[in-house]
Amino acid sequence: MEITRGFAEQVIAAVRSCKEIMLGAFTVSEKAGAFNLVTTADTSVQEHLRGMLEKILPRAWFLGEESPEYRQDGTFWVVDPIDGTSNFVRGMRLSAVSVALVDRGEEIFGVVYNPYSEELFCAAKGAGAYLNGTRIHVSGRDFAHALLFTAFSLYEKKYAPACEAVLKELYAGCDDFRRLGSAALELCYLAAGRGELYFEMRLFPWDWAAAGVIIREAGGVVGTIEGECLRHDRPVLLLAANSVENYRKLKTTVQKYVPELPYRF
The answer on pLDDT for 34 being more than 60 is no
Q: Give the per-residue pLDDT at 5.
A: 96
Q: Give the per-residue pLDDT at 73.
A: 73
Contact 14, 77 (CB under 8 A): no
CA angle 44, 45, 48 (to 5 degrees): 85
State the Cα–Cα distance between residues 209 and 203, nearest whole angstrom: 10
Instruction: Residue 222: name the closest of 168, 258, 186, 174 by CA.
Output: 186
Contact 229, 105 (CB under 8 A): yes
State the Cα–Cα distance between residues 104 and 156, nearest whole angstrom: 30
Q: Give the per-residue pLDDT at 100.
A: 98
Contact 151, 183 (CB under 8 A): yes
Output the DSSP codes for 135-198: E-------GGGPEEEEE--TT-GGGHHHHHHHHHHHHHHSSEEE--S-HHHHHHHHHTTS--EE
State the Cα–Cα distance between residues 206 and 147, nearest whole angstrom: 24
Q: Give the per-residue pLDDT at 157.
A: 85
State the Cα–Cα distance between residues 105 and 107, nearest whole angstrom: 7
Q: Give the per-residue pLDDT at 31.
A: 67
Q: Give the per-residue pLDDT at 111.
A: 98
Contact 234, 206 (CB under 8 A): no
Q: Give the per-residue pLDDT at 155.
A: 75
Element (H, E) at 255: helix 244-257
Highest mean pLDDT among 61-75, 109-123, 229-243: 109-123
State the Cα–Cα distance between residues 97 and 113, nearest whole angstrom: 5
Q: Give the per-residue pLDDT at 247.
A: 98
Query: Which residues, 6+ apart, have CB-to-CB distance to 256 below 8 Å?
Result: 166, 169
The answer on pLDDT for 104 being more than 60 is yes
Strand partners, 110: 100, 123
Q: Give the per-residue pLDDT at 66.
A: 82
Q: Give the per-residue pLDDT at 12.
A: 98
Give the Cβ contact number of residue 265 at 10 Å: 8
Q: Give the per-residue pLDDT at 52.
A: 97
The answer on pLDDT for 8 being more than 80 is yes
Q: Using pLDDT thresholds of 50, 70 and 90, give the confidence band for residue 67.
A: confident
